[in-house]
Amino acid sequence: MVSISLPILAIQIANFLVLIFVLNMVLYKPIRKILTERKEKLQGLEKSASACDAQAEEKNQAFIAGIREARAKGQKEKEALMQAAMEEENTVVTRINDQAKEDLAKIKAKITNETAAVRKELEKEVDAFADAITQKILGRAA
């Protein structure tokens, strides 16, 4: 059996305290230091990651704003081009209509002149036609 005596108990307590002191110096403090450094490093990385996320979000918002601005600018330019095209179209249509009116007026004048000329020609020959019709109706020569 094991007998416990006061000097052996005192030596065991002293041995235990020395062991705790030595383990604390050799093992526990370095492990705690490493764990503290790791925790600080992780916190720094988390802060860095959150800062990067914030920067990325800011850049994304700037990018989206730039796209909106570019689309608005493009839309304004498109509308300006469409307006210019419509004005050009109106100018061309007006010019074509004016040219068509001039051509129509020339054709009407030409037809009027030709009609008058044909009428004069026919009026000169009316007596001859009347005599010919009369002869055919009466069946004899006048």
Residues 64-92: pLDDT tens digits? 999 999 999 999 999 999 999 999 999 99
Predicted TM-score of the model (pTM): 0.47
Are 93 and 85 in contact, with CB atoms under 8 Å apart? no
Tokens of 36: 């503290």
pLDDT of 142 > 90? The answer is: no
What type of residue sits at position 130? A
